[in-house]
Structure 1
Amino acid sequence: MPDPKSSSLSSGEAAYAGLVDALRSGDFSPGDRLREEDVAKRLNLSRTPVREALRRLELAGIVEHRPRIGAVIRKLSQTEIVELYEMRIVLERTAARMAAQHGADAEFDALDAMNQRIAAAQDTPTLGAAINQDFHETLYLAARNRFLVASAEAINNALILLGPTTYLDPDRIRIVTEQHEALIAALRARDGDAAAKAAETHLQTSLRYRLSGGPA
């Protein structure tokens, strides 16, 4: 992991960014205890900014403080997973519809290139999952609505709590990339209704996969 001190961020921001990166990459999983001393050593920072970062994660609902244990990464219940995906579907349908109207062809080209990289990353699932995050972020940015982007950021933080990537299953990657292709085709056609439908189909499939207990 890059040394957080090498960035222009404050120590607190660096600690927060480093922790979020570790959570997204699967270095920490839901249910894991986050000891200040261990995290500080990992990030090459003092315990004070780490404590600040843990408080931010607690306010965001990602970390919970348990008596006599300390900071622990939350585990989502099945009900919470369904609620999370329901909100993702609402936001992503809107993003896809607006991106079809406002997005640039170059952005659609970028989405296509990222999708090809996901397909090529079958042997490195965590890389494919990271590229997938970039794919969805690019879709939101193409919608040209800062309030939609801000709402998506809050939801994306909660996605950390879903646990390790499902991309260990090659068939899962094939389905994801095929559904991405359908979304990109609708965007290129400037068909907002089709893009919204493709986005919803994609997330409904992802939800079903999560609830069925597919490979983590």
Structure 2
Amino acid sequence: MKSPPKDAYALILEAIDLGTFKPGDRLVESDLADRFGVSRTPIREALQRLETQSLLTRDGRSLIVSSLDHNQLAELYVVRAELEGLAASLAARHATDEEVKVLRDMVEGDQALLGDPEAMAKANRRFHKQIHLASHNRFLVQQLDLVHRSMALMAITSLAAEGRDKDALDEHNAIVTAIEARDSESAATALKAHISKAFVTRLKLDSGEVSSVV
């Protein structure tokens, strides 16, 4: 039985998201084709799509992974806080009991990942994605996917700041507690506060005020 064809776009996007390709890195068609075992045509199409989405920037004839300046970062966090807050509010109203249990299990299970910024970053993405899906609003999920795609352009996760992972998990717990209580206002407030604290940590990391553990 033949394995399904590899999605070049998804493979490159995941590599950016995981930090394998960092802002400023040059992406070369032939290298990517060899790396992922995909022909150059889908790689070329994927690169064009990523450039259209502003995840890649043209530098002469080459494409490099884009980076976010201070203003872009601030704008992104403003939009993210509003959309994520709405998702949490809707999740408190519309999530099934099973979806709420999954969120609770995630918070409890992620305790074992404390001290591992990369694993925590992946778990954090899963947690937020689960809230998006629990909102049961496809248009909101689409917009949040775009926002999180742009978040991949950050060179390092805010969870890499010393002590941030424990605080973030406590904030996740507060969000889930509000969703369990079906308190849409508190859920939105808790998630917005979580994003605000992540942004403050990001600014401190970028300024060198706090140290990274990676």
- The reply to whether TM is greater than 0.5 is yes
Q: d(CA) in 2 for partners of 1:170 and 1:178?
A: 15
Alignment of 1:19-38 (within 5 A): 19-38=12-31
Q: d(CA) in 2 for partners of 1:119 and 1:168?
A: 15
Per the TM alignment, residue 47 of structure 1 is displaced from its structure 2 partner at its CA by 1.5
Q: 2:39 aligns with which of 43, 46, 49?
A: 46
CA RMSD of aligned residues (A): 1.6
Q: d(CA) in 2 for partners of 1:170 and 1:119?
A: 16
Q: Is the 8 A contact 2:94 2:135 kept in 1?
A: yes
Q: d(CA) in 2 for partners of 1:126 and 1:191?
A: 31
2:50 matched residue in structure 1: 57
> Secondary structure in 2 aligned to 1:83?
helix
Per mean C-alpha deviation after superposition, the further-off stretch among 167-176 and 71-80 is 167-176
Q: d(CA) in 2 for partners of 1:164 and 1:7?
A: 33
1:3 matched residue in structure 2: none
Q: Is the 8 A contact 2:29 2:40 kept in 1?
A: yes
Sequence identity (%): 35
Residue 132 (1) aligns with residue 128 (2): no
| Cα distance, 1:149–1:7 mapped onto 2, change above 3 Å | farther
Alignment of 1:159-178 (within 5 A): 159-178=151-170
How many residues are paired up? 207
Unaligned runs of 5+ in 2: none
Residue 8 (1) aligns with residue 1 (2): no
Per the TM alignment, residue 204 of structure 1 is displaced from its structure 2 partner at its CA by 0.1
Q: Residue type matched to 1:112 in 2?
A: R
Q: Is the 8 A contact 1:119 1:173 kept in 2?
A: no
User: Under a length normalisation based on structure 2, what TM-score does the superposition of the two structures give?
Assistant: 0.91
Unaligned runs of 5+ in 1: 1-5
Q: d(CA) in 1 for partners of 2:153 and 2:133?
A: 23
Q: Is the 8 A contact 2:115 2:165 kept in 1?
A: no
Per the TM alignment, residue 173 of structure 1 is displaced from its structure 2 partner at its CA by 0.6
The Cα offsets for residues 68-96 of structure 1, whole Å up to 9 and x where unpaired, read as 4x010011001100100100011011111
> Secondary structure in 1 aligned to 2:63?
strand
